[in-house]
Amino acid sequence: MNISTTILGTNNINEFVEVINLFEDVFEMENFTFPSTQTLQSTLANPNFLVMVARHDEVIVGALTVYVLSPYYSEKAYAYIFDLAVRREYQRKGIGKQLIRALNEYCRANNVEEVFVQADVVDDYALDFYRSTKPTGEEQVIHFTYAL
């Protein structure tokens, strides 16, 4: 299967909408309220935000979103994978791993020191997937949130 990966540009709003629809489907997001076009455009215009897509025959079959963080204690940035999903019918075909590899290559070329992602401890599928991508480390952490 021939898969190509690219990073969306600021004018790729329709593809960004397609990515969000993919996330909504794969993550089974109930009662999801779609963001406004203005919100999506400003998000895509953010230089510290990336959307990488995987295409098969010009159809988006997988995607990941990334926030680039500039830590105060390092000259290089960090990249945080916020979401990663592959259409159900394309899962377990190496597309997620290809997205991770392509992101790592992009980050290496763009002065990023580390790429990281979090997965819920109860999400065995996600844990198995990320472990299969050969990370250089794995940490056990507790994630705290503050709903406002």
Q: Specify the pLDDT at position 16.
A: 98
Q: Specify the pLDDT at position 101.
A: 96
Instruction: Check which CATH number belongs to the domain holding 89 and give it.
Output: 3.40.630.30
**Is 125 inside any structural domain?**
yes
- Calculate ∠ Cα 66-72-77, nearest 5°: 30
**Is 57 inside any structural domain?**
yes
**Is 148 inside any structural domain?**
no
**Is 145 inside any structural domain?**
no
Average pLDDT, rounded, for the chain = 94
Alpha helices by DSSP H, the chain: 13-26, 37-45, 95-109, 124-132
Task: Give this prediction's pTM.
Answer: 0.91
Q: Specify the pLDDT at position 120.
A: 84
**Is 55 inside any structural domain?**
yes
Q: Provide the 10 A C-beta neighbour count for residue 76.
A: 12
Q: Specify the pLDDT at position 115.
A: 96
Q: Specify the pLDDT at position 141.
A: 83
Domain count, the chain: 1
User: For the segment 86-137, what is each residue's pLDDT rounded down to a tens digit?
Assistant: 999 999 999 999 999 999 999 999 999 999 998 888 888 888 888 889 899 9
In this prediction, residue 35 has a pLDDT band, given cuts at 50, 70 and 90, of very high
**Is 72 inside any structural domain?**
yes
Q: Specify the pLDDT at position 77.
A: 96
Spatial separation of the C-alpha atoms in residues 110 and 103, rounded to whole Å: 10
pLDDT mean over 38-48: 96
Q: Specify the pLDDT at position 93.
A: 96
pLDDT mean over 69-92: 95
Q: Which domain holds residue 123?
A: 4-132
